[in-house]
Structure 1
Amino acid sequence: MNKNNISLHTLGVLLAPVCLGMLLSGCNKAEVPASKKEAADEAKLPLIREAAGIRLPETSPLRKSIAVAAVTEQTVERAIIIPGTIELDAATSIKVVPPVAGRILQLNKRLGDKVNAGDVLFSIDSADIATAYSDASKAQSALLLAKRNLQRQKDLVDAEIAARKDYEQAEADYSQASSEVGRTKARLAQLGVSKDAGAGHHYQLRSPIAGRVIELSAAQGGFWNDTNAPLMTVADLSTVWMTASVAEKDLPLVFAGQAAKITLNAYDNEVFEGKIRYVGDVIDADTRSVKVRIAIDNKSGRFKPGMYAKVNLSGQAHQAPAIPASAVVQNGFNTRVFVEKTPWVFEPRIVKTGAQVGDKLEILSGLKAGERIVVKEGVLLND
């Protein structure tokens, strides 16, 4: 190897560390500015999504907008709001149907009149009544004749003058006449009259209940020949029913004795109270609902059958986690809240809500009392 080659080789060996140092020095100078740039860029971001959740940097403007509070427990009564209708109480109302045809002689009670049990409602001049009285009189006469004949035949048989078969025939005739008297008396009793009232063709129908005449379909002097149609309706409206339909899914929340608050369209600014008296035993196949009945005191007469109303049923009171409605964020089909895992780090969580009590929502699942959540402007963290 000549002298020139040795010098070049020696120079290369001497310069290699210098170049490597310069390269390393250059690399370090490039890394420091990049790290500072990333930190500066991160400081400008309002939020950073990480594996642990959503982090708000110290300089994030969202820290001033978002509010965090702990989940609390409170007493919750889930309310069910359903439409209802005022109805008559079938046990205290009656459609009065005349049992006989005839001309209406007098209407003793007219529409709106108060009625006491036993009051005469109307009088009818009826041939059917005359026939019933006549049949009863004939049956009584036939019975008297059969009784005399039976006694006579008995005397003859005892004297061995008449045949035994004549006595037996007299017994049969008496039994038949006695049955006919019973039938005619039953007919008069069914019509509401008795044999002791004497013969006649005037019939008076008396009210079996106390109440008020709420329907009238006849006029004085008119002829009534349909014994299946009601001439008038008498009802006791001191108590009426509020009937409402409860959806099948809400049945577990409804029970007899449950308190109800009622608002009627006619008295929109007033709230009336009642209690469920009866929950239906059969589900309507078409509406998938069950009828409930609420008894309402109506001595004031303000509740008119046919009125529409809104019924608010209060569920059984229980303790449950509750959060402000503002804490809930909708994400597609899911309802979410943002739970604070560590200071300014939040985790989105799906929850199931129940009843609303004022401005708070009952939490059925997904949260426990004591957990801290975003209660204001959580939508800013939503995807």
Structure 2
Amino acid sequence: MLLVFWLAILITACGESPTTPITSAHAQVEPGNSNRPLPRDIVTVELFDIRATVSLGGTAVPRHLVTLSAKAPGYVRYVAGPVGTRFNPGQILLELDSDILETQRRSAWANLAEASAVLQDANVQLYRQVYAPDPSPQGGMGVMQMFDRLVTRPASNMIGTSDSRLEKYAQFNSLRAGVERAQAGVMRAQSHIDEIEIRLDDTLILGPGHGVVLEKFVERGNIVQPGQPLMRVADTDDLLIRVEVPARIIRGVYSGMPVEVRLDALDMPLNTVVERIFPAADAFRHTVTVELSVPPGAPVAPGMYATVVLPDNTRQSSAFPVVPPSSLVWRGSQPGVFFVNTNGTIELRLIRAGQKTRAGIVVLSGLNAGDRILASPPVDLRTDLHSSAKRG
């Protein structure tokens, strides 16, 4: 039994590993929690030259915004859906009453039929004069008519009392004028029909393309007059960011220039391109309107506020501390970072963050070059401001 006891003690002693003190700052144990070491992703804050920029407020607007107005008087018979209704090209968006115009159109078609009949009769009379000027009637009077044609008319032409050729020409010209008057009557009736058709088309308000109804100014049953606004529509899938740029920095803006934009609805920057620069400045605000193209599919709606960051060539670049975006932690609306002290403890330090660059987040105040921070602090890291960090 004694031999077994000493063998057990010897085996236990051989299985224990020797302990060594931890001297690395990356492996020091956090105060208040002796079971977990410090995170190893500690970075040193460095300075970077940041180009001077200016942040301007812009607005998302449709590229094509159309206000549809009434082209004819009348009362509204039909309106296609509420605000937000999508439509296709040529779809009826609004219709005015057209009963009176329909009645006028039927009357105009009747006038056209009458004018066409008059024209047909005039053509028949003209053709008869050309091809059978003196038809001989059947019966006993044919001898007298033949005598008149063979004796009386030639004798009258010889003594100068009449001219049969001139009479034929005058009669032919009169019949031809009758045909032309009948043709004019047909054209007049057709023009009246065309006018009514145009007025009927004016009672229909059609969609100019793919779009959405943004505003409605009338409802069914309202009386409208020509020129009165009816609704405002736009293609919300094709948007622009419109911003007023101060004239002092407009020289640094050019067409095709990439511009970073931040929208309230997005957590990430939106890459846009300068599409158009207006040729003249506003005489009162001394700004130039600039339009930026929005990438297709971006979650942007008309009227959204946008922050546009443009270079300011009137100021020199400055060196600022830059930290990784993953190092930021938020306490309400205030950003901060976990600062590593020289003794290895961690404290939360609030900072004033600036713009996001390719190098990282610009720190306007709260950190200096050479400070050490946690690049990616664990989500369960807890600390009070200017106190030792603890994990809960």
Residue in 2 that maps onto 1:283:
281
Call closer, same or farther: CA 1:231–1:324 in 2, change over 3 Å. Answer: closer
Call closer, same or farther: CA 1:155–1:77 in 2, change over 3 Å. Answer: farther
- 1:178 equivalent to 2:187? Answer yes
| Matches of 2:81 and 2:318, distance apart in 1 | 62
Residue in 2 that maps onto 1:45:
none
Structure 1 runs of 4+ off > 6 angstroms?
A: none
Alignment of 1:1-383 (within 5 A): 79-90=53-64, 93-130=65-102, 133-134=105-106, 136-158=108-130, 159-160=132-133, 162-182=171-191, 184-185=193-194, 187-189=196-198, 191-192=200-201, 204-220=204-220, 222-264=221-263, 266-267=264-265, 269-297=267-295, 299=297, 302-305=300-303, 307-314=304-311, 324=319
Call closer, same or farther: CA 1:110–1:147 in 2, change over 3 Å. Answer: farther
TM-score (norm 2): 0.52
Q: CA RMSD in A?
A: 3.7
For the 8 Å contact 1:258–1:275, the answer to whether it is kept is: yes
| Matches of 2:293 and 2:188, distance apart in 1 | 47
For the 8 Å contact 2:215–2:232, the answer to whether it is kept is: yes
Matched AA of 2:73: A
For the 8 Å contact 2:51–2:318, the answer to whether it is kept is: no
| Matches of 2:69 and 2:318, distance apart in 1 | 61
Call closer, same or farther: CA 1:325–1:232 in 2, change over 3 Å. Answer: closer
For the 8 Å contact 1:79–1:314, the answer to whether it is kept is: yes
Q: Which stretches in structure 2 are left out of the alignment for 5+ residues?
A: 1-47, 134-167, 322-356, 370-392
Matched AA of 1:273: N
Q: Judge which range, 116-125 or 277-286, deviates more.
A: 116-125
Q: Tell me by how many angstroms 1:94 deviates.
A: 2.8
Between the two proteins, the alignment pairs up a number of residues equal to 242
| Matches of 2:318 and 2:224, distance apart in 1 | 69
For the 8 Å contact 1:112–1:212, the answer to whether it is kept is: yes
| Matches of 2:198 and 2:270, distance apart in 1 | 45
Matched AA of 1:82: L
SS class of match (1:192): helix
The structure richer in strand per residue is: 1
For the 8 Å contact 2:74–2:225, the answer to whether it is kept is: no
Matched AA of 2:225: D
| Matches of 1:132 and 1:271, distance apart in 2 | 60
For the 8 Å contact 1:262–1:274, the answer to whether it is kept is: yes
Q: Deviations over 1:49-79 (max 9, x none)?
A: xxxxxxxxxxxxxxxxxxxxxxxxx987553
Q: Which stretches in structure 1 are left out of the alignment for 5+ residues?
A: 1-73, 194-202, 327-356, 361-374, 376-383
For the 8 Å contact 1:132–1:187, the answer to whether it is kept is: yes
For the 8 Å contact 1:113–1:212, the answer to whether it is kept is: yes
Call closer, same or farther: CA 1:229–1:298 in 2, change over 3 Å. Answer: farther
Q: Deviations over 1:325-350 (max 9, x none)?
A: 79xxxxxxxxxxxxxxxxxxxxxxxx
Q: Deviations over 1:128-176 (max 9, x none)?
A: 5325524642452254134214313422441447441342243144135
| Matches of 1:275 and 1:100, distance apart in 2 | 42
Q: Tell me by how many angstroms 1:189 deviates.
A: 4.2
Call closer, same or farther: CA 1:168–1:251 in 2, change over 3 Å. Answer: same
| Matches of 2:177 and 2:82, distance apart in 1 | 57
Matched AA of 1:250: I
SS class of match (1:209): coil
Call closer, same or farther: CA 1:259–1:187 in 2, change over 3 Å. Answer: farther
Q: Tell me by how many angstroms 1:183 deviates.
A: 5.2
For the 8 Å contact 1:241–1:294, the answer to whether it is kept is: yes
SS class of match (2:254): coil
Call closer, same or farther: CA 1:262–1:155 in 2, change over 3 Å. Answer: same
Matched AA of 1:310: T
Q: Judge which range, 290-299 or 179-188, deviates more.
A: 179-188
| Matches of 2:172 and 2:52, distance apart in 1 | 89
Q: Tell me by how many angstroms 1:254 deviates.
A: 0.8
| Matches of 1:78 and 1:149, distance apart in 2 | 88
Matched AA of 1:188: E
Q: Tell me by how many angstroms 1:293 deviates.
A: 0.8
Percent of residue pairs identical: 16
For the 8 Å contact 1:84–1:242, the answer to whether it is kept is: yes
Q: Tell me by how many angstroms 1:181 deviates.
A: 1.1
For the 8 Å contact 1:282–1:290, the answer to whether it is kept is: yes
| Matches of 1:261 and 1:323, distance apart in 2 | 20
Call closer, same or farther: CA 1:156–1:137 in 2, change over 3 Å. Answer: same
Call closer, same or farther: CA 1:122–1:268 in 2, change over 3 Å. Answer: closer
| Matches of 1:75 and 1:147, distance apart in 2 | 89
